[in-house]
Chain A
Amino acid sequence: MKQVIKITLFFASAIIITQASMAQQGLQVSVNYNASTPLGSSFRDYVNKTSFRGLQESVLFGINSHFRVGLQSSYNDFYQKYERQVYKFTDGSDVSTVLSNTLQTVPVFAKGEYSFLNKGFLKPYVGLGAGINFVNYDQFLGGFEYDKHYTKAAFTGDAGVMVPFSRKSNYGFRLSTSYNLMPFNKEGVKNLDSWNVQTGFTIPLN
């Protein structure tokens, strides 16, 4: 719940800040489905399955016909269940358990995007972002839960295309891919880097 409040406040701030110049500048919202594949041996030791439970949202403000800046957030739920094994713990105990490893990431980025073309059927773009990552580490030994919350830095780089619904429309489909660099070193898991694919819609607001 705290994460929801924090993210909501971020988006609210972005909208308030950009309201003043709304009359002359373009604001667009994108809502995308987001699939995320964990990268790096440590992260993949914890969970190596691709997360198909994800969403990405952004509020970007057009500075000119090529550049947009704003905020972007995404959410992904990583989950993997390991069959029963005996684990030797550092305190000397042996634990026989089914292990369910889960992890939720909610990176919130200040982001800039550059569009190469303004007209045409395809509008390719690239983007860079930096921000913070709200991490929920949640591991289950059998039915017993151990969870911890962390806030870390996060960086992203992405590339994609916007496909307008019509020649002059600013509404469109969006297809993109991104690399998230997420430093992390807790609970025996080092770095939460991921490769992501997004698809969704872009909606202009003025």
Chain B
Amino acid sequence: MKKVKFSFLVLAGSVALITSSCRKDVTKNLSDAESRVYITKHDSTVNFANYQTFRIADSVSVIKDGKFVTHAYNAYDSSMIAALTQEMIQRGYQLQTDDTVVPDLGINVSRIITDYTGNVSYGDYWGGYGNYWDPYYWGYRGYGYYFPYAFGTYTFREGALSVDMLDLKNPNTSTNKLNTIWTGLGRGTGIFNVSNVNEETQALFNQSTYMQQ
């Protein structure tokens, strides 16, 4: 009987040990750069060559736990806006510097900071809490934003960079909506480090080969 009890304890202990400890620790086997994920999605009905000019919002929306906090412009924000501007110019788009002229494309940048594990979709944070950049900023008073394609939901456990490209050339006058034709999302360790800005913008644009004037 003692032997049976001993064997049971050995077996139970062994099973508990192997199932809890004998696993490859995946995250420890990833560098910070490898931990980052870049997701883009676009309106497949849009021909990006039909747009000539663009402008990027002059600061970044900070969204914490799904709620708009402030518009910010720190070192990371300014670097990101500059890098995005450069990427757009390299693809043949012209920066519209005259604030009185509405460009063909408007780009909003957001930093999303979430402290919980949950599903946050683009629709949630745009639709649920209003527009962090009022469409009036782009010259469309009384308009809202519209995402013509359904976004998947992604689980956030930390900061995420969100870049949204708006079609200002073809506002939907019947619904008063501005069509969002491209979105980019970057997530992972060090996503808000200034030193990673170029890698982030290149990743988002390199996988969006259709975006070319």
Q: Measuring CB to CB, which residues of chain A are less than 8 angstroms from any residue of chain B?
A: 1, 3-4, 7-8, 11-12, 15, 19, 22, 27, 29, 31, 53-55, 57, 59, 73, 75, 77, 79, 81, 84, 86, 89, 91-98, 100, 102, 104, 106, 138, 140-145, 203, 205-206
Q: A29-B11, A97-B38 are in contact. Are A4 and B16 (CB under 8 A)?
A: yes
Residues of B within 8 A of A84 (CB): 34
Residues of A within 8 A of B36 (CB): 142-143
Q: How far is A95 from B23 in the complex, measured between Cα atoms in Å?
A: 26
Contact A11 B22, beta carbon cutoff 8 Å:
no
Q: A89-B152, A206-B3 are in contact. Are A95 and B8 (CB under 8 A)?
A: no
Contact B23 A77, beta carbon cutoff 8 Å:
yes
**Contact flags (1/0) for B139-174 with A, using CB distance below 8 Å?**
000000000011110110100000000000000000
Contact B27 A55, beta carbon cutoff 8 Å:
no
Q: How far is A93 from B208 in the complex, measured between Cα atoms in Å?
A: 10
Contact B34 A19, beta carbon cutoff 8 Å:
no
Q: A75-B15, A75-B18 are in contact. Are A142 and B37 (CB under 8 A)?
A: yes
Contact B19 A3, beta carbon cutoff 8 Å:
yes
Contact A59 B22, beta carbon cutoff 8 Å:
no
Contact B30 A98, beta carbon cutoff 8 Å:
yes
- The interface size bin for chain B is 35 or more
Contact B12 A8, beta carbon cutoff 8 Å:
yes
What residue in chain B is nearest A73 (Cβ atoms)?
B15
Tell me what chain A mostly uses at the interface: helix, strand, loop, or mixed: strand
19 A–B contacts, CB within 8 A, in A order: A3-B19, A4-B16, A12-B12, A15-B4, A55-B14, A75-B22, A79-B24, A86-B207, A92-B42, A95-B38, A96-B37, A97-B37, A100-B30, A140-B26, A141-B37, A143-B35, A203-B7, A205-B3, A206-B3
**With an 8 A cutoff between CB atoms, is B175 at the interface?**
no
**With an 8 A cutoff between CB atoms, is B39 at the interface?**
yes
What residue in chain A is nearest B153 (Cβ atoms)?
A91
